[in-house]
Amino acid sequence: MARMTAAGERMHALVERLYPLCRSITGDGVRATLEIVGEYVPLQMHEVPTGTPVLDWTVPQEWNIRDAYVADTAGNRVVDFAASSLHVLGYSVPVARTMTLAELRPHLHTLPDHPDWVPYRTSYYRPEWGFCLAQNTLDALPDGDYEVRIDSILADGHLTYAEHVVPGQVPDEVIVSCHVCHPSLANDNLAGIAVATFLAQALAEQEQPPYYTYRFIYAPGTIGAITWLARNAERVDRVKHGLVLACAGDPGQLTYKQSRRGDAEIDRVLRHVLAASERAHRVEEFTPYGYDERQYCSPGFDLGVGSLSRTPYAGYPEYHTSADNPDFVSPEAMEDTLAVCREAFAVLDRNRRYVNLSPYGEPQLGRRGLYDSLGGRSDAKEAQMAMLWVLSLSDGEHGLLDVAERSGLPFETVAAAADALHGAGLIKA
pLDDT score of 74 more than 80: yes
In the predicted model, what is the mean pLDDT of residues 7-27?
Answer: 98
Tens of pLDDT, residues 300-327: 999 999 999 999 999 999 999 999 999 9
Tens of pLDDT, residues 218-257: 999 999 999 999 999 999 999 999 999 999 999 999 999 9
∠ CA 181-186-187, nearest 5°, is 90
Strands 395-399, 305-309: pairing is unpaired
Tens of pLDDT, residues 320-347: 999 999 999 999 999 999 999 999 999 9
Supply the CATH classification number for the domain 353-428: 1.10.10.10
Q: How many CB atoms lie within 10 A of CB 418?
A: 25
- Give me the percent of the chain exceeding a pLDDT of 90: 93
- Region of 423 please: left (phi>0), alpha (psi -120 to 50) or beta: alpha
Q: Are 71 and 147 in contact (CB under 8 A)?
A: yes
> Which of 166, 100, 106, 168 lies closest to 131, judged by CA?
106
Domain 63-155 has CATH 3.40.366.10: no
Question: Can you tell me the distance from the alpha carbon of 356 to that of 384, in angstroms, rounded to the nearest whole number?
Answer: 16
Question: Can you tell me the distance from the alpha carbon of 183 to that of 25, in angstroms, rounded to the nearest whole number?
Answer: 10
Question: Can you tell me the distance from the alpha carbon of 176 to that of 228, in angstroms, rounded to the nearest whole number?
Answer: 13
pTM for the full model? 0.95
In the predicted model, what is the mean pLDDT of residues 92-98?
Answer: 98
- Region of 55 please: left (phi>0), alpha (psi -120 to 50) or beta: left
- The pLDDT of residue 380 is 74
**118-318-217-194 Cα dihedral, nearest 10 degrees:** 100
Tens of pLDDT, residues 378-412: 567 888 899 999 999 999 999 999 999 999 999 99
Using alpha carbons, list the distances in angstroms from residue 79 to 148, 151, 172: 10, 14, 50
**In CATH, what is the architecture of 6-60+158-350?**
3-Layer(aba) Sandwich (3.40)
Residue type, 219: A
DSSP structure string for 111-131? -TTSTTPPB--B-TTS----E
Enumerate the domain spans of the chain.
6-60+158-350, 63-155, 353-428
Tens of pLDDT, residues 104-131: 999 999 999 999 999 999 999 999 999 9
Sequence-distant (≥ 6) Cβ neighbours of residue 320 within 8 angstroms: 119, 120, 185, 188, 314
**Phi, psi angles (nearest 5°) of residue 254:** -65, 145
- The pLDDT of residue 405 is 94
Q: How many CB atoms lie within 10 A of CB 240?
A: 18
**Is residue 373 very low, low, confident or very high in pLDDT (cuts 50, 70, 90)?**
low
- The pLDDT of residue 367 is 84
Strands 281-284, 254-257: pairing is parallel
